[in-house]
């Protein structure tokens, strides 16, 4: 698979973020990164809590960091797990919220050493929830 420099940087950021995962309960370290339409990359890792329900996935940490920095049109994401796990349903919905074009939004699924798969967000979340706005 030939990857562009931007895609390689996105995947590298997800792998790097995974090294910061705080996952003492599940032991399942995840890193994620999102690419904004202005070229900026925002990364996140999963952050667990002793009160398990408070844990947040790597993908949402990355997306919320992007949103907080004013990057609210995202064009791609990379997720790095030990075994090629794909984003959970909640994270797919959060990615949809900020995806500039869901059918062209690439989600790279990678492990530390390999590119496992690539999907579009529409493939991962067909018929995602979208609130009708302004009417
Ligand atoms: Zn998730």
The C-alpha atoms of residue 63 and residue 1 are separated, in whole angstroms, by 26
**Which are the catalytic amino acids?**
59
Residue 11 has what pLDDT?
Answer: 98
Distance of CA 2 from the midpoint of ligand 1 (Å):
27
Residue 78 has what pLDDT?
Answer: 98
Q: List pLDDT tens digits, range 6-41.
A: 999 999 999 999 999 999 999 999 999 999 999 999
The C-alpha atoms of residue 16 and residue 131 are separated, in whole angstroms, by 34
Distance of CA 46 from the midpoint of ligand 1 (Å):
9
Which pLDDT band holds residue 2 (cuts at 50, 70, 90)? confident
Q: List pLDDT tens digits, range 75-130.
A: 999 999 999 999 999 999 999 999 999 999 999 999 999 999 999 999 999 999 99
Residues in the 5 Å CB sphere of ion ligand 1: 57, 88, 91
| Residue 27 CB burial class (10 angstroms; 0-12, 13-18, ≥19) | exposed
Distance of CA 116 from the midpoint of ligand 1 (Å):
18
CATH number of 5-123, picked from 1.10.260.30, 3.40.960.10, 3.40.462.10, 3.40.140.10: 3.40.140.10
Rounded to 5 degrees, φ, ψ at 78 are -130, 140
Question: Which tokens belong to 62?
Answer: 């990355």
Question: Global pTM?
Answer: 0.95
Q: List pLDDT tens digits, range 44-80.
A: 999 999 999 999 999 999 999 999 999 999 999 999 9
pLDDT surpasses 80 at 135: no
Residue 53 has what pLDDT?
Answer: 97
Distance of CA 92 from the midpoint of ligand 1 (Å):
7
Domain positions in the chain are 5-123
Residue 121 has what pLDDT?
Answer: 98
Distance of CA 135 from the midpoint of ligand 1 (Å):
31
């Amino acid at each position: 698979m030939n990857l562009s420099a931007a895609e390689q940087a996105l995947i590298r950021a997800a792998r790097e973020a995974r090294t910061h995962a705080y996952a003492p309960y599940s032991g399942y370290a995840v890193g994620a990164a999102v690419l904004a339409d202005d070229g900026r990359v925002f990364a996140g890792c999963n952050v667990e809590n002793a009160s398990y329900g408070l844990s947040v996935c790597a993908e949402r940490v990355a997306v919320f960091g992007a949103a907080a920095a004013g990057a609210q049109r995202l064009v791609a994401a990379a997720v790095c797990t030990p075994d090629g796990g794909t984003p959970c349903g909640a994270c797919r919905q959060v990615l949809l919220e900020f995806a500039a074009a869901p059918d062209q939004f690439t989600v790279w699924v990678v492990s530390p050493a390999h590119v496992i798969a690539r999907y579009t967000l529409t493939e991962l979340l067909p018929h995602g929830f979208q609130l009708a706005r302004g009417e």
